[in-house]
Structure 1
Amino acid sequence: MRLSQSFGKTLREAPAEAELASHQLLLRANFIRPAGAGIYTFMPLGYRVIRKIWQILAEEMDAIGGQEMWMPNLHPAALWQATGRWGQVDVLFKLKGSGDRDYALSATHEEIVVDLALRDIESYRDLPKMVYHISKKFRDEPRPRGGLIRLREFIMKDAYTLDRDEAALDEYYPSMIQAYFNVFNRCGVPTVAINADVGAMGGKTSQEFTVPHPQGEDVFIACDNCGYAANVEAAEFVREGDKPAQLAELVKVQTPNCKTIADVAAFVGVPTSQTIKAVFYWWRPRYEEKPGEGRLVFALVRGDLNIVDTKLVNALGGGFVRAATEAEIQSIGAVPGYASGIGLTPATGDMNSPGVMIVADESLEYGGNYVVGANEEPYHYTGANVGRDFTVSRMADIAEAGTGHKCPVCGGRIEAKKAIEVGHCFKLGTRYSAAVDATYLDDNGQKQLVYMGSYGIGLDRLMAVVVELHHDDDGIVWPDSVAPYQVHLVHIGKAGDGTKEQAEALYAELTAAGVEVLYDDRDGLGAGVKFTDADLMGIPWRVTLSARSLKGGGVEVKRRSESERQVVAVEELKALLKS
């Protein structure tokens, strides 16, 4: 491609709102342009990078038996209603068609695949199958950020497996995990595979592929001693602490102007681990709130810990939570800032049982004689103990693992690290097939549910992470495998000195030899401008043809990732590039 004919221009400065290096550099180097919040156009250079990533993904999926296909981005609501996710996926774009028909834009494609299984899988002879496609996805993200990191419209590689049973799914799963490592390694992005929460996808288990990054939006927990790693939403840890040898008397004390855990602990003179933090939520079964649905949930955790909303939702059996309002809290007789389980009647059954749904973290079992709210302002109780002074509806793991906590596997110490998620693999099991009765006849003629797996990689996000890991102060440094072109040919010369004709001939020769060349043939620009643009765009090899280089014996060759330059005879250039 000739730069004189390219669409768009490089920018000397990135917009102020671009915080991540990848966002800044992809904008400046003319790889992407914003169309709206979380919506981007891929310029010609950017689209070539996407196509390189696309090819790597296709090769790795084909290598493990994948069949590429093309699935629709407009989904009839009936497919999502059949699986129960129409009212559960909070980022689903919904729209009305003619005849008042409801549709959704594709946030993911489990509904399409299970509908295909329902129609086309009849017997055990039709299994196993692995299909994939690379297509657009649409999610109504409330806070798109980081350029290509979190988008409302993006490109996703989705793969889906259909198996006879759980054992077959488990047997195939490691091959997909390895294929993911292959993809990321080929793109120059080393990853860490961690255990993760299944979220709205559902299913049995999932593994998330992450890249440690100081500005990442995800947090994962890692143990350097044994290798245990998990997303903070699913990470486990060992609670530490002992029950007191003797239970203290329950005493009400006045605690003026003490509404935070730190304030209360300091005023009473105890560590925060001897307090109980009370957090109120409103739980609902679906994302959209409907009158009469949902209930108040009272969550308790030891004062030195925090609650993970995802863990709480899982403990409640699914659904969604939001922060409760003061009116909702007061409706059960609790006082915001001074609340506890003392004096409240806990629910004893499911989410429809009477009483207050009190969910406590397991950490409450590792201590005692706690300082808790008195449900009266401005008072707290000292000497409070679970079981004697108040009871809970259920005890569960709802606390956040953090740096310094004990590893659940080896007992070593874990560390919290920020990261960017680049891929996710799910063992869905029968979550979707059971919802629509997608079955097959086994070799005994008996109906069995199809077992599914789902595996996703976002191409846009992966492109951004490549840049996050491969750049310097001057611009992008593309790995060879995903670079838009392999050679950035730069012509420097004056009209009539013969260099332009030789540069044109070299461009034609390299292109004919199958070398991907970006040719800076722009007239009227100095070497400084052209070299600055070359560094910014990050093509692996820069080849400069000028009167000076020709006088030195050929063309000047420089690797983008290195500072060394060398002059190579034109007839030796192709061999050098191939080597």
Structure 2
Amino acid sequence: MKASRFFIGTLKEAPADAEIVSHKLMMRAGMIRRVAGGIYNYLPIGLRSIRKVEAIVREEMNRAGAVELLMPAVQPAELWEESGRWEKYGPELLRLKDRNDRDFVVGPTHEEVVTDIARREIKSYRQLPVNFYQIQTKFRDEIRPRFGVMRGREFIMKDAYSFDKDRAGLEVSYQKMFDAYVRIFTRLGLEFRAVIADNGSIGGSGSHEFHVIADTGEDAIAYCPTSDYAANVEKADAVALGNGRAAPAEALAKASTPGMAKCEAVAEHLNIPLERTVKSVVLATDGEAGVQVWLLMLRGDHELNEIKASKIPGLGEFRFATEAEIVEWFGTRPGYLGPIGTKKPVKLVADRTVADMSDFVVGANDADFHMTGVNWGRDLPEPEVYDIRNIVAGDPSPDGKGEIALCRGIEVGHVFQLGTKYSEAMSATFLGENGKPQPMEMGCYGIGVTRILGAAIEQNFDDRGIIWPEAIAPFEVVLCPMGYDRSDAVRAAADKLYEALLAAGVDVIFDDRGERPGVMFADWELIGVPHRLVIGDRGLKEGKIEYQGRRDAEAQLLDADTAAEFVTGKVRAAKVV
């Protein structure tokens, strides 16, 4: 490709609304341009990287036995009503009407459509297993689109859906997809982790997220450096701390704690470790019988994990109690709440760590007072016990193989074991070996194709611009001839080198625009091309061509006759197949 025949739209400055590194650099490198909030044009430079991501994804999906199809972006509402997600999905679902006043959605995902395909086309167990996938545009009406392609409304996604005759088959399909994802992200040249995750609005049972590790990531990941354990903080098991509950050693007493509504202040005032205090979080659920108030108890230095709390039976639709409800049930304002002497009965839930504590401190349900020397069994009935806290760095790893560390990640892929959630709701059945209809066991597997570009940049950049993993760079090599339009020697050497690289199958861009060296170098460093060859009269007099890798601190001189072979070797060595 010659630059004079290509479109290069680099900018010296990023637009004011570009907030994070990837957004700024994608705009400056001429990869994207904003059309509306969270909606972008992908210019030629950006599209080249997208196509390279798609090619790797497609190769590995085919290798894993998945079969490509294409489903419509616009979907009839009836399918979403069948699955129950027409109402449940929320305002991110873009709803519209056609000229006949029929309801449609612009698909954020395709579980409903693919399940409809399966129930129409799959009749017998002999047709299973099957895994359909597509690479297609999705739309989710984010309340506040931001961060460029990282939190856009319209995006390109690879989504796959497996159908099996039983749970064992689903687990095999799931593992195939998990392994394919590991190969995909390895080939893309990204540092990533597969983490245990929550299923969210998709539903189903087990799931893993694939995260690109980056300091700017939105998601917190808990992992064990000495084992393979990794989980999203929302999902990570927080084991009970300590060596089990000790026998009571203190009498129950009421202590004055004037103006001390926080556990930290109470601990300092009472001259005890913060770990001996217990905080009270008050939730409420609304039902036919009225409001039910729940008191969740956590150690003073721990934080409530709302996702885990929502998994407790009866708390699936919880909300935080209002101050009026707190006063009605506890008799005092927040900051001094506790399980002893409530005005009205509450449902008591203790975190695993709190359930093992003794002689701890809680609010006294009396402003400016706390109870000390509190013990289960003696002063309080045994609670319901659940893991309801966020795991923290230094906690024991749930697999027993070390301690937890935390890092930040950007989610770029997610695999789910859906089970029969959609097949039962939509009557997607097949005739089993016993001749009876059975619901299909489903899995779904997504990769954010356009999001990968942003995640890769967040992980790979410097003050000059993008540093692409070679597999998804828009070009592998750039040729920068000095004075191409003025020097016969430079023109002849550059043309020869260009033809040699093309013949070797190298994806090369030849900058024949006649720009000054500083402009050329700045453009290609900003765009992030991994390998640069500079051809100039001075070097050619000594039979040399200058080479510099995008990650290299210094350039090196190559023999002009072997430069093409040298760079071709570099390109091939970087590819993971």
TM-score (norm 2): 0.89
Structure 1 residues 161 and 370: CA distance shift in structure 2, 3 A: same
For structure 2, which runs of at least 5 residues remain unmatched after alignment?
Answer: 570-577
Shift of the 121–34 alpha-carbon distance from structure 1 to 2, 3 Å rule, reads: same
Q: Deviations over 1:305-361 (max 9, x none)?
A: 111111011124674555443234334345322222333488xxxxxxxx6444332
1:79-109 per-position Cα deviation (integer Å, ceiling 9, x unaligned): 2232222333346223230344333322221
How far apart are the structure 2 equivalents of 1:111 and 1:169?
Answer: 18
Equivalent in the alignment of 1:522 = 513
SS at match of 2:105: strand
Give a deviation string over 1:26-58, Cα, whole Å, max 9, x none: 222112223344333221101100000000000
The amino acid across from 2:531 in the alignment is W
- Could you say which residue in structure 2 is the equivalent of 1:350? none
Q: Secondary structure at the match of 1:81?
A: helix
State yes or no: 1:315 paired with 2:321: no
In 2, the alpha carbon distance for the partners of 1:575 and 1:226 equals 41
What secondary structure sits across from 1:86 in the alignment? helix
Query: Match for 2:94: what amino acid?
Result: K
After superposition, the C-alpha distances for 1:46-84 in whole angstroms (9 at most, x for unaligned) are 110000000000000000111111112222232223222
What CA distance in whole angstroms lies between the structure 2 residues aligned with 1:274 and 1:213? 35
- Taking a change above 3 Å as real, the CA distance of residues 53 and 306 of structure 1, as seen in their structure-2 partners, is same
Paired with 1:494 and 1:113, the residues of 2 have a C-alpha distance of 55
| Aligned partner of residue 266 in structure 1, secondary structure | helix
Question: Matched residues in 2 for 1:295 and 1:40: separation?
Answer: 46
Q: CA deviation at 1:293?
A: 9.5
CA contact (8 A) 1:559 1:565 kept: no
SS in 1 for 2:338: coil
Which residue does the alignment assign to 1:343? 341
Of 453, 469, 477, the residue aligned with 1:463 is 453
AA aligned to 1:27 is M
Deviation at 1:510, TM superposition (A): 5.6
Counterpart CA distance in 2 for 1:49 and 1:415 is 33
**Match in the other structure for 1:77:** 77
Which residue pairs with 2:573 in the alignment?
Answer: none
Deviations 1:394-432 (A, max 9, x none): 321111111111222226322222222221111111122
Match of 2:47 in 1: 47
Distance 2:370 2:305 in 1: 25
1:499–1:145: structure 2 CA closer, same or farther, 3 Å change rule? farther
Tell whether the 8 Å contact from 2:73 to 2:107 is kept in structure 1 after alignment.
yes
- Amino acid aligned to 1:74: V
**Structure 1: how far apart are the matches of 2:489 and 2:433?**
74
Q: 1:295 to 1:238 in 2, by over 3 A?
A: same
Distance 2:415 2:468 in 1: 27
Cα separation, 1, equivalents of 2:184 and 2:466:
20
Give me the TM-score of the superposition, normalised by structure 1: 0.88
The aligned amino acid for 1:89 is Y
Please state how far the C-alpha of 1:303 moved relative to its aligned partner.
1.6
For 1:55, the aligned partner's letter is: A
Q: Are residues 1:300 and 2:297 paired?
A: yes
**Amino acid corresponding to residue 299 of structure 1 in structure 2:** L
- Identify which range, 131-140 or 55-64, moves more after superposition: 131-140
Q: Could you tell me whether the CA contact under 8 Å between 1:309 and 1:321 is conserved in 2?
A: no
Q: Any conservation in 1 of the 2:145–2:153 contact (CA below 8 Å)?
A: yes
Q: Does 1:419 align with 2:409?
A: yes
Q: Give the share of equivalent positions with the same residue, in percent.
A: 40
| Aligned equivalent of 1:256, options 255, 258, 265 | 258
Please say if 1:152 is aligned against 2:153.
Answer: yes
Distance in 2 between the 1:88 and 1:478 partners? 39
Quote the offset at 1:451 in angstroms. 0.4
Partner of 2:534: 544
Question: Could you say if the C-alpha distance between residues 151 and 496 of structure 1 is closer, same or farther in structure 2, counting changes exceeding 3 Å?
Answer: closer
Asked if the contact 1:88/1:319 (under 8 Å) is kept, the reply is no
**Paired residues of 1:189 and 1:466 also in contact (CA < 8 A):** yes
Structure 1 residue corresponding to 2:279, chosen from 277, 280, 298 = 277
- Counterpart of 2:572 in structure 1 is none
Q: Which whole-Å CA distance do the structure 2 matches of 1:496 and 1:200 have between them?
A: 62
Contact 2:195 2:209 in 1 (8 A): yes
Contact 1:274/1:369 (8 A) holds in 2: yes
Q: Which whole-Å CA distance do the structure 1 matches of 2:382 and 2:102 have between them?
A: 46
Identify if the C-alpha distance between structure 1 residues 41 and 50 changes in structure 2 by more than 3 Å, giving closer, same or farther: same
Instruction: Describe the shift of the 1:482–1:411 C-alpha distance in structure 2 as closer, same or farther (beyond 3 A).
Output: closer
Structure 1 residues 61, 91: CA separation in 2 closer, same or farther (over 3 Å shift)?
Answer: farther
- For 2:256 and 2:49, the matched residues in 1 are separated by 65
387-396 or 217-226: bigger deviation: 387-396
Which residue does the alignment assign to 1:224? 225
- SS of residue paired to 2:458: helix
What's 2:433 paired with? Answer: 443
1: CA distance between counterparts of 2:314 and 2:80? 20
Q: Once the 2 structures are TM-superposed, how far is the Cα of residue 22 of structure 1 from its aligned partner?
A: 2.7
Change (3 A) 1:298 1:106: farther
CA gap 1:170/1:487 in 2 versus in 1, 3 angstroms: same
- Tell me the alpha carbon deviations over residues 131-172 of structure 1, each in whole angstroms, 9 at most, x when there is no partner: 111112222334444433232222111111100101111123
Is 423-432 or 260-269 further displaced after alignment? 260-269
C-alpha contact 1:27 1:33 (8 A) present in aligned 2: yes
1:153-232 to 2 correspondence within 5 Å? 153-232=154-233
Gaps of 5+ in 1: 286-290, 347-354
Amino acid in structure 2 at the alignment position of 1:237: A
Matches within 5 A, 1:389-538: 389-391=379-381, 394-410=384-400, 412-493=402-483, 496-498=486-488, 502=492, 505-506=495-496, 509=499, 513=503, 515-523=506-514, 525-538=515-528
CA distance in 2, matches of 1:391, 1:101: 56
SS in 1 for 2:151: coil
Listed one character per residue, the Cα deviations across residues 351-396 of structure 1 (whole Å, up to 9, x for unaligned) are: xxxx644433222211123322233323322233345444587321
* SS of 2:472 mapped into structure 1: coil
**Of 137-146 and 52-61, the range deviating more from structure 2:** 137-146
> Alpha carbons of 1:495 and 1:456: their partners in 2 closer, same or farther (altered >3 Å)?
closer
Counterpart amino acid of 2:444? S
